[in-house]
């Protein structure tokens, strides 16, 4: 049997790896010139956007081990996240997990018995409401911790974001080491996509780029062919397909699928600042910049849920963000030169970075809508927000669904 995996984003790479490890022959098709999807290196090596993982992302960390890339992901701030509040000038290190708040110095502003209870209530069943409503009586904790976490994890403004979905994220931060924040030391190319492709190639699974699936040929309720433009790739009775596509592509090919239709942008601004030094990660409150990743190869700034700023041109974005970055770098004593004038910068705009995680999400789609076709993609898991973790779990679930169907068929035969 050959399994054709369509889409070489993280979900497709994870599906392909699980399938080759399960003994299948895999062909990987990707429409773009490179693999990685929304988590990729641009032609100059810059990441399309900063990607952070947490210790709670067990599937993602296991995947990194499987592709031999775990060492490339480092914890830049083991002593707590340095956070500068640009409005009131306070600079502190904040523990992301409540387990670290026993130390008053690492507690975010606004932690009181009442606000802790509001956090705990997120974990309890009940009708869903927006994060802003859930913390209406705790504006300090909302501003200092809950809003930055919501925007980072759900990429949705707090007035719209689902408190239930945030509760699912926070529950996962409770375990030991779960709130450790990790970033790629060099970048998404060398620390994720390239090792994944190399591992797949070792198992005989090669990637065909520039290969866009235009349509599915179906007969008798099964996929019998893939329209790849130049030719139709026949799908034999023992073959199968994984669609590891973003929702708008999945629904184009299978129009009855329930898919999220509203997406939120992320703006990333990359400053060319070449300077040796450790990898650092800072948080900012009260400005445009939210997270700042400092690496020897440059400084990358993230603005999530960027509805209001994604339209800024490169120089406007750099002019607004650089003074904020510089102030934070100086306050936390980051080494090197931080000139008043912005270094050359460019903005990368991912307009459909993730689905919006609001109230009343569409139901999760079936994992195997056709007997020989399984779905993967960060949007296909109901429990998790659209992240690397969700993408990897979805890819592994799609592979498992096809492998167990194949095993059942073998027993029946």
Ligand X SMILES: Cc1cc2nc3c(=O)[nH]c(=O)nc-3n(C[C@H](O)[C@H](O)[C@H](O)COP(=O)(O)OP(=O)(O)OC[C@H]3O[C@@H](n4cnc5c(N)ncnc54)[C@H](O)[C@@H]3O)c2cc1C
Among 196, 235, 310, 388, binds ligand X (CB under 6 A): 388
CB of 222 to ligand X, least distance (A): 19
Site for ligand X contains 398 (CB under 6 A): no
CB of 26 to ligand X, least distance (A): 14
Site for ligand X contains 178 (CB under 6 A): no
Q: How many angstroms separate the CA atoms of 320 and 159, rounded?
A: 24
Site for ligand X contains 268 (CB under 6 A): yes
Between 118 and 226, name the residue whose CB sits nearer to ligand X: 226
CB of 214 to ligand X, least distance (A): 7
Q: How many angstroms separate the CA atoms of 292 and 76, rounded?
A: 12
Among 3, 26, 27, 52, binds ligand X (CB under 6 A): 52
In contact, 382 and 162? CB cutoff 8 Å: no
Site for ligand X contains 170 (CB under 6 A): no
In contact, 145 and 110? CB cutoff 8 Å: yes
Site for ligand X contains 246 (CB under 6 A): yes
Between 210 and 336, name the residue whose CB sits nearer to ligand X: 210
Among 30, 160, 324, 396, binds ligand X (CB under 6 A): 30
Widest pairwise Cα distance in the chain:
72
Residues with Cβ < 8 Å from 207, sequence gap 6 or more?
Answer: 8, 28, 30, 35, 197, 200
Map residues 122-161 to x or -, x wherever contact with ligand X holds by CB under 6 A.
----------------------------------------
Site for ligand X contains 49 (CB under 6 A): yes
Taking 3-state DSSP, the helix, strand and coil percentages for the chain, each rounded to the nearest 5, stand at 35, 25, 40
CB of 93 to ligand X, least distance (A): 20
Among 191, 239, 378, 396, binds ligand X (CB under 6 A): 378
Q: How many angstroms separate the CA atoms of 408 and 413, rounded?
A: 9
Q: How many angstroms separate the CA atoms of 60 and 87, rounded?
A: 36
> To 5 degrees, how large is the angle CA 39–CA 42–CA 45?
105
In contact, 223 and 373? CB cutoff 8 Å: yes
Cα-based distances in Å from 244 to 9, 10, 228, 247, 380: 7, 9, 15, 9, 10
In contact, 365 and 375? CB cutoff 8 Å: yes
Tokens 């980072």 found at: 152
Site for ligand X contains 266 (CB under 6 A): yes
From 77-85, 118-126, 174-182, 239-247, give the range in contact with ligand X by CB under 6 A. Answer: 239-247
- The residues in 333-372 that bind ligand X, with binding defined as CB under 6 A, are 350, 353-354
For binding to ligand X (CB under 6 A), which residues are involved? 6-12, 29-32, 37-39, 48-49, 51-52, 212-213, 244-246, 249, 266, 268, 350, 353-354, 377-378, 386-389, 391
């Amino acid at each position: 049997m050959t399994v054709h995996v369509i889409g070489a984003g993280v979900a497709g790479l994870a599906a392909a790896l699980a399938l080759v490890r399960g003994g299948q022959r895999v062909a990987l098709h990707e429409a773009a010139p490179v693999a990685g999807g929304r988590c990729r290196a641009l032609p100059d090596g810059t990441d399309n956007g900063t990607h952070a993982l947490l210790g709670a992302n067990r599937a993602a960390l296991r995947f990194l081990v499987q592709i031999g890339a775990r060492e490339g992901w480092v914890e830049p701030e083991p002593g707590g996240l340095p956070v500068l509040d640009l409005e009131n000038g306070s600079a502190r290190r904040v523990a992301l997990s409540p387990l670290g708040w026993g130390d008053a110095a690492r507690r975010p502003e606004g932690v009181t018995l009442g606000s802790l209870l509001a956090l705990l209530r997120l974990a309890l069943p009940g009708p869903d409401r927006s994060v802003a409503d859930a913390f209406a009586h705790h504006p300090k904790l909302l501003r200092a911790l809950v809003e930055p976490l919501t925007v980072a994890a759900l990429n949705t403004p707090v007035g719209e974001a689902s408190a239930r979905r945030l509760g699912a994220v926070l529950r996962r931060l409770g375990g030991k080491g779960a709130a450790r924040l990790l970033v790629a030391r060099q970048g998404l190319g060398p620390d994720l996509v390239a090792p994944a492709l190399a591992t797949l190639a070792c198992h005989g699974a090669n990637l065909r780029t520039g290969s866009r699936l235009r349509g599915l040929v179906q007969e008798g309720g099964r996929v019998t062919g893939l329209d790849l433009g130049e030719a139709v790739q026949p799908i034999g009775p023992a073959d199968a397909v994984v669609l590891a596509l973003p929702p708008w592509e999945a629904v184009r090919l299978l129009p009855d699928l329930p898919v999220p239709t509203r997406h939120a942008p992320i703006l990333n601004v990359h400053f060319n600042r070449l300077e040796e030094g450790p990898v650092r990660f800072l948080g900012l409150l009260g400005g445009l910049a939210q997270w700042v990743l400092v690496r020897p190869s440059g400084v990358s700034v993230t603005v999530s849920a960027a509805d209001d700023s994604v339209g800024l041109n490169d120089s406007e974005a750099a002019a607004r963000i650089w003074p904020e970055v510089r102030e934070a770098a100086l306050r936390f004593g980051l080494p090197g030169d931080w000139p008043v004038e912005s270094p050359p910068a460019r903005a990368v705009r991912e307009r459909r970075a993730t689905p919006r995680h609001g109230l009343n999400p569409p139901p999760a789609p079936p994992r195997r809508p056709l007997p020989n076709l399984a779905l993967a993609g960060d949007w296909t898991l109901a429990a998790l927000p659209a992240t690397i973790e969700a993408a990897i779990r979805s890819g592994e679930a799609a592979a498992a669904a096809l492998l167990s169907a194949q095993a059942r068929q073998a027993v029946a035969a």
